Structure 1
Amino acid sequence: MLLDFKDKKEAASNPVSFKIKDICLISRGVVISKKIIFENQGIYPVYSSQTVNDGILGYINKFSHEGEYITWTTDGAYAGSVFYRNGKFNITNVCGILEVKDKNLVNVKYLSYVLSKNAKKYVNTGMGNPKLMSNTMSEIEVLIPDIKTQEKIVYILENFEKICEDLIIGLPAEIEGRKKQFEYYRDLLINFSQEREREREDYSIEEIKLIQFAFGFLTIKLQNIIYINIGKQLNKDKLLPLGAYAVINGGVEPSGYWNNFNYTKDKITISQGGASAGFVSWQDKNFWAGAHCYIVFDKNKLINYKYLYHFLKNKENFLMNNQHGAGIPALSKEIIYDIEIDLPTLEKQNEIVSILDKFETLCNDLNKGLPAEIAYRKQQYDYYLNLLLKFEK
């Protein structure tokens, strides 16, 4: 269905926990001395426990492995260091090697990123010689999302600099800084794919952009992407029955008119006080916002402003049901800020807005269509509005 993201959210929300032994064949390398390398020089790399030069100890004229694998350093100062390998190669006895059993279930490079992030936590540093042996590696638990999510994360990390440039995410000039930022965003994407960071409320703009790009959406509180102003009191004795600019306050209709405005057109307003507190409206002309009128703004250009209006309109009943106060009912900013929104990419937002705007125009234009058609169009609009990123949890 057009606006139903159920499949995408369910897939991204249900990673499965596996032990490494359940998804990989585990083995060790063999002793390959410098003498063997010297006497059998060739084109196939020999990977050792070191991390410099990608762990290459030398090259010989035969290979023990061919294809996609993950290797890790089992002993010494670099124990727990993880590498993705692809091709024909050899490994020494201080390296372990993982062969993924089912590549339709687990992307090898994705698993290498996960283990690069987590493996060192399992290194035994006792007796002065750090170790991460096969028996320990086999019991490490990892959360694996659907294969498409894994592939998307791998694509982003393989094309990290280009994607950061496209998303206008700044990168440090120095190599060491870029490495740290790569590791930071690698961990962010892996954590998000495994649901461990979805409750955060302090995502940066750059993090939001990257998560949207990777997963298609981000569940986030409105406080991250909007700010709210409140209008200015205009006493009743100044209100005019007719005037150039409507005065918007706590009601559904204007309180009156005034000869000046304090906000320009194309703004979202929400009634702050009165029986209609929580009523959401779109102001298509310059207007005066009164003391019982909230004006909602996009904070960081991460949301199509009209999309935000449709979303808030969909939440209107919720807002009106959350009025407080024994005298004149009121709606607090905190209620609005605390609402969660499943925020797709701007491209998807634009597509949704285009459709909903057309439906809304047909519903509001009483000169188009017969009453039965108008009622049907209104029904359609309400249906799609209710589906507006209403992912099933």
Structure 2
Amino acid sequence: MPFIEKLLDRADVEWKALGEVCGFKNGFAFKSSRFKEEGLPIIRITNIDGRNVDLSDVKYFDPEDYTRGNPLNYSIVKGDVLIAMSGATTGKIGYYDLSETAYLNQRVGKFEPNEGILNNRFLYHFLLTKADFIYVLAGGGAQPNLSSNKLKAQLQIPIPCPNDPERSLQIQQEIVRILDTFTELTAELTAELTARQKQYAYYRERLLSFETTNDTKGTNVVWKALGDKSIGEFTRGGGLQKKDFTESGVGCIHYGQVYTHYGTYTYETKSFVSEEFAKKARMAKHGDLIIATTSENDEDLCKAVAWLGDEDIAVSSDACFYTHTLNPKYVAYYFQTEQFHKQKRPFITGAKVRRVNADNLAKIKIPVPSPEEQARIVSILDKFDTLTTSISEGLPREIELREKQYEYYRDLLLSFPNTDHERHERHEN
């Protein structure tokens, strides 16, 4: 017998339209021209991340700027469940978990469940299973736009024991308790990962920021331009495009993959080209650094991956590779530091598409300690890198497993039968 059947213990389940058990409130039409850098926080569709409310890019307002309408009537408090109503985020849900009161912008909706019938947190978990349905309901496509009236009429909510509200809420609360156990564990792991990432960044900056010609242990450190002939040279990538990929053959790295697929270093490539194509391609060797010289944002620009495989690989245009005499991982880690990015910024060109050419990269300076010191620094940073970025081990893997576990039990606990026939059929099986 399915778990949900045991929990219900033969109780009825009635599917009700959202509007029957839950009110709904749309946001206020705040004017972007009146956004402030401080004041009362505004929750926009970009703040709804599909699970929570992200305030990393929040805007503010001053109530005195509005003489028509009252934006203070559109407040949200801790525990409110929100939904994005238009654009690319349509259908995404956000749970507001902060103690500070905030205010809804237009095209963000707030659910107002009837507390005597529907548990707010139960509604939240259930809505997470309906993102695809809601997106289609909004029209899908490039410019979806969700109608609150259509949402209230067509989204169906399962209500266990509809004739016994007390027991119904007990069942809902038990489901919430189980699912919240998983979300709390994921939140704890994510918080730990964030702390480790900050720790990683701190030690990376400390280990790779040599302020004098000698470090604290007296090790000689020389600052050299990356293009100094004594340590390395840059080679621009060739005409490799995605259409040139093959199922197998000679390994290759396309510039876009550097910041979407690879980490600090790799021993194998995601893609391949034919041996015939490789004969005319520009090839990187073991130890070379593959660098994306084109990006849509400055942060990803010049992201680099050290190639540690044994075979030569093809490199695309809009990328270059750096052949050098240094520890490959040491150079790759240095490309992640603020010291490197500070030197990179003056060389960035372009508006929508941002670029740094190989000639300017060659002018950036790098601290060059002894090979032994480079290896020591790499061994320390490798431990942090594995813990914070590895998908097969470390915290990201643990978080991924907990997410899958949550989704499994969420689907199991919220798979209520939608007809009496289906419920009895499941019971018999």
Q: TM-score, normalised by structure 1?
A: 0.41
Does 1 or 2 have the higher relative contact order (CA < 8 Å, sep 6+)? Answer: 2
Q: Which has the larger radius of gyration?
A: 1
